[in-house]
Amino acid sequence: MRRLATVLLVMSLAACGPSPAAPPIGRPSPVAAVTGPAFSCGSVPVEVTVMPLGTTRTGTFRRLPSLTRKVKVRGETWSRGGERLHVGVVCGVRTAEEFAVLVERATLGMHHGKPALSWQNGELHNFMWLERPGTAVYVAATPGLLTEIDRIADEVTG
């Protein structure tokens, strides 16, 4: 009896035909439309895939005064009105232990399972995480663009 029920169930389902394909579900389009920069501490680049709408590239930077040791820094500054946004990479920090002491008085946390630091100097709010050994990603903003830090950090690929 069980086999007969199974056979009838399979036949009735087969008679219904294939189910229509579900529409693809993609990520929502980001609000920002400006393509961001790419940086490298070696052969694998780190790309900032989007920048906030209305920001324009206004310069570069090669050092971060908050760092406790001399390391290579590569970054760009973006602006919208009087507000500034800094994105870049800090090269040369290989371990989580080295990373954790890279900035005095920083708060240690996590970003997508990776060690992260956050701190403030003046009006600039800073956030940095160790993307991989040798490459830390840095994002900082003035108060008017502060809400963009998390969104930019979430859109970094590399």
Residue 64 has pLDDT above 90, yes or no: yes
Instruction: Transcribe 135-156 into DSSP letters.
Output: EEEEEEE-GGGTTHHHHHHHTE
Q: Which residue has the higher pLDDT, 13 or 39?
A: 39
Whether pTM > 0.85 for this model: the answer is no
- Which helix (H) or strand (E) segment holds residue 96: the answer is helix 96-100
Q: pLDDT of 83-127, one tens digit each?
A: 999 999 999 999 999 999 999 999 999 999 999 999 999 999 999
For 117-144, what is the mean pLDDT?
96
Q: Please tell me what DSSP assigns to residue 103.
A: B
What span, in angstroms and rounded, lies between the C-alpha atoms of 86 and 126?
A: 9
* Domains of the chain by start residue, with CATH: 31-157 (3.40.1000)
Residue 26 has pLDDT above 80, yes or no: no
Residue appearing with tokens 């690929």: 157
Answer left, alpha or beta for residue 134, where phi above 0 means left and psi between -120 and 50 means alpha.
left
Contacts of 71 (CB under 8 A, 6+ apart): 90, 91, 92, 93, 102
Within 13 Å, how many C-alpha atoms sit on residue 132's CB side? Answer: 10
Q: Let me know: does 41 contact 88? Beta carbons within 8 Å.
A: no
